[in-house]
Amino acid sequence: MKFFLLVFSIILIGLSTSAQTPCVDGMAGNYPCENVDLLAFIPLEDIGDGDNTNDIWGWVSPLTGREYALVGCSNGTAFLDISDPVAPIYLGILPTHTQENLWRDLESDERYCYIGSEAPDHGLQIFDLYQLDLVSNPPVEFEETSHFAGFGSSHTIALDTINDYVYCNGSRNLDGEFVYDGGLYIVDVSDPLNPFLAGGFSEDGYTHDCFVWNYDGPDADYQGKQMVLACNGESLTVVDCTDKLDCQMITTLVYPDLGYVHQGWITKDKKHFLLDDELDEVALGNDLLPYGTRTHIFNIEDLDNVVYMGYYENDNISIDHNLYVKDQFVYQSNYRSGVRIVDAVKVSEGILKEVGYFDLFPQNDNAQFSGTWSNFPYLPSGVNIATSMYEGFFILQPRVLYAEQTDWDLCLVDQIQYTMVVNGDLAFPLVASVSGIPGALLASVTITEPGTYNLLISGLSTLPSGEYAGKVKLSTNFGEQYELDLNLSINGSSPAAPAITSPLNSGFVNVNDPAIVISWEGSSALQYEVELATDAAFTSIIEAQIVGTTNAVFNYNLPLGEYYVRVRALNDCGQSAWSNAHTFSVVNVAVSEPTTSVLAAWPNPFTNELEIRANGPLGQVRITNALGQVVFNQFTASSSMRLNELQWPVGVYLIQTHQGDQRMMRK
């Protein structure tokens, strides 16, 4: 509002701080709604107790990741910690620099909040937001970090966070006279503690609000320049402010039934500008032919030749105030009809469509100046924060299009179920796909109506460790897309299966040994699980251990017989496959087998035939089984013998000669 301050009466809703209230059957408690839940509400008296709220902005601490709401009030700027959006904490207020006033406007960068007001001699307040992380006993009264007194008052501000300029609009000097005819007053805040005037623009007179754009749109003539779309009350004006001392007007445009060019934002495609006209509903509508709330659409592909495309008209007649665009959706604060969510996916065709809303002023939708002043849809959590002038502060949760989970911490997982909810009447049909995740696979899914859709995304186990910022895209049949986040954190891979090194596979262990030591080659593991069993299927496990080394000790004498052992590796991602089953036999060995024996036997293992040979006469040949039972005992003067048709049981056998030579064999 520029020159209009209407006297009106309102009925206050008797609400104390309220908790989460879902939107069910068109209502969230006392508030009409569609696809938007109420997470929390704090009344005006609990956030500084001023006469009204006005502008609102959000901030995320780069130090702690906490989310904050910066709420303009008549008596200052209130700060709330909304990291838990259903339980916001009022931290305190930064008082106005001079006196209370209906109008206050603010924006923030990574660290500082910049605040202007229509209050005389207010200038530009600068506040270090890092202080918010340090509040331990709220609420507190804050002090401004620095102040710019180069002008007296301003109506709105717009912050260039890339080049560190604050554009102050509708500025007046200390005597109340317009500076730069109320046009752009540009303050350099590259050093926020020492701001200074960088330049200005007065050629088109008073500027009510503006959109500052470090230009990256389709017009090749202005790439890399700093362009401003100025809402000048009587016109929409494009200004090149690359040189702050010599700002150049590019073009100016009016449109039919113009009331008051108030504020606007560019669309996702950077080809269109959406504008709210604050006075067309009041100045042009009447009781017999009321105007619905109008959002005006401009094609800005050629900044030298901006084209008016027409308007979208809402069913209600409330006055529109501030709007912001996030992705394909426009979040409009329309005074008495609340925060309205409009789908702009078909904006190139001049089509906008409402898909959700939350009415912060449920009494009526009349064209009067009360209700929601502004909203902020850009917080990472996805909540929308909004002010209602004489009621207080709201935290809202849009439910038009969302995923039940967008962040995944994966380890050895090949597929996930991505649950997506479509509530709004979007531009159907939609075809789902995944981008930004190498190798991710999603079967083609076509969405033709609102509902809940479970998308199975696979092919993730091959991703190297790292962070992946992907998107689930819903493509329309005319080229536009809706996008939802798909963020993956891949923390590693499972360890490889170990390889057992001892006892030797098919080897022997003396029954008299007091312990059995199992060893294996290490892998990328924190621990290992070892199983000892009497069968290859490991259905009869003698003992299982989890150890942090590459060996395990079984501290007892095992009975004579055949045994099986296996190992698998464990880490934070999970577990490896089991190693191959490793076998060894416990036998009764009185004398250790010579390492350079003259006795040889083959094959080993053998089946029904066995060849025995020595360097000289064998003499008495005695063969015993693992139990020490004699299965063969014969004398020969030959240096070799061949045994045929051996029907001995499977097991371990010891060949001995009268010379003391011996050889372990396995059947």
pLDDT confidence tier of residue 596, bands split at 50, 70 and 90? very low
Cα–Cα distance for residue pair 101/253, rounded to 1 Å: 32
Planar angle of CA 44, 54, 359, nearest 5 degrees: 75
pLDDT confidence tier of residue 573, bands split at 50, 70 and 90? confident
Give the closest residue to 84 by CA, choosing from 358, 381, 376, 374.
381
Phi/psi for 133 (5° steps) reads -65, -20
Q: Which fold has domain 402-490?
A: Immunoglobulin-like (2.60.40)
pLDDT of residue 12: 33
Within 10 angstroms of residue 485's Cβ, the number of other Cβ atoms is: 16
Judged by DSSP in three states, 11 sits in: coil
Cα–Cα distance for residue pair 566/19, rounded to 1 Å: 56
Cα–Cα distance for residue pair 97/76, rounded to 1 Å: 8
Cα–Cα distance for residue pair 433/470, rounded to 1 Å: 11
pLDDT confidence tier of residue 16, bands split at 50, 70 and 90? very low
Q: Provide the whole-model pTM.
A: 0.75
What are the DSSP calls for 428-491, one per residue?
Answer: S-EEEEEESSTT-EE--EEE-SSEEEEEEEE--TTPPSEEEEEEEEEE-TTS-EEEEEEEEEE-
Cα–Cα distance for residue pair 224/124, rounded to 1 Å: 28
Give the lowest-confidence range in 248-262, 338-352, 364-378, 523-537.
523-537
Q: Which fold has domain 600-666?
A: Immunoglobulin-like (2.60.40)
DSSP state of 368: S
Phi-psi region of 262 (alpha: psi -120 to 50; beta: other; left: phi over 0): alpha
Task: Specify whether the CB–CB gap between 515 and 529 falls below 8 A.
Answer: no
Alpha-carbon radius of gyration of the chain? 39
Cα–Cα distance for residue pair 441/433, rounded to 1 Å: 8
Give the lowest-confidence range in 337-346, 434-443, 469-478, 600-609.
600-609
Q: Could you tell me the two tokens for 552?
A: 């395990």
Q: Could you tell me the two tokens for 142?
A: 């804050």
The average pLDDT across 367-384 equals 96
- Whose tokens are 């060949």? That residue is 655
- Residue 611: which residues within 8 A CB-CB, separation 6 or more? 601, 602, 603, 640, 641, 642, 643
pLDDT exceeds 80 at position 285: no
pLDDT of residue 430: 95
Q: Which residues pair with 290 in a beta bridge?
A: none
Give me the chain's average pLDDT, please: 90
The string of pLDDT tens digits covering residues 157-180 is 999 999 999 999 999 999 999 999
Contacts 24+ apart (CB under 8 A), 116-121: 116/153, 116/154, 116/155, 116/156, 116/157, 116/168, 117/153, 117/154, 118/153, 118/154, 118/155, 118/170, 119/153, 120/152, 120/153, 120/174, 120/176, 121/97, 121/149, 121/152, 121/153, 121/174
Cα–Cα distance for residue pair 83/60, rounded to 1 Å: 9
Cα–Cα distance for residue pair 396/340, rounded to 1 Å: 12
Phi/psi for 267 (5° steps) reads -85, 170
pLDDT exceeds 60 at position 532: yes
Cα–Cα distance for residue pair 290/309, rounded to 1 Å: 22
Consecutive H or E run containing 372: strand 372-376
Parallel/antiparallel/unpaired status of strands 353-358 and 372-376: unpaired
The string of pLDDT tens digits covering residues 52-88 is 999 999 999 999 999 999 999 999 999 999 999 999 9
What are the DSSP calls for 300-359, one per residue?
Answer: -SSTTS-EEEEEEE-SS-PPEEEEEEETTEEEEEEGGGEEEEEE-TTGGGT--EEEEEE-
Cα–Cα distance for residue pair 302/666, rounded to 1 Å: 88
Query: Alpha-carbon torsion 48, 49, 51, 54, what sign?
Result: positive
Class of CATH domain 27-399:
mainly beta
Give the closest residue to 653 by CA, choosing from 661, 662, 643, 640.
662
Query: What does CATH list as the number for 500-587?
Result: 2.60.40.10
Cα–Cα distance for residue pair 206/224, rounded to 1 Å: 26
Cα–Cα distance for residue pair 494/576, rounded to 1 Å: 6
pLDDT confidence tier of residue 524, bands split at 50, 70 and 90? low
pLDDT exceeds 90 at position 334: yes
Amino acid present at 516? I
The string of pLDDT tens digits covering residues 387-414 is 999 999 999 999 999 999 999 988 878 8
CA 464 to centroid of chain Cα atoms: 19
Give the closest residue to 482 by CA, choosing from 268, 197, 298.
268
Where are the domains positioned within the chain? 27-399, 402-490, 500-587, 600-666
Question: Do the first three CATH levels of 27-399 and 402-490 match, i.e. the same topology?
Answer: no
The average pLDDT across 267-293 equals 86
Per-position b or e across 377-407, b if 16+ CB within 10 A of its CB: bebeebbbbbbbbbbbbbbbbbbbbbbeeee
- Whose tokens are 């809703």? That residue is 13
pLDDT of residue 522: 78
The average pLDDT across 176-199 equals 98
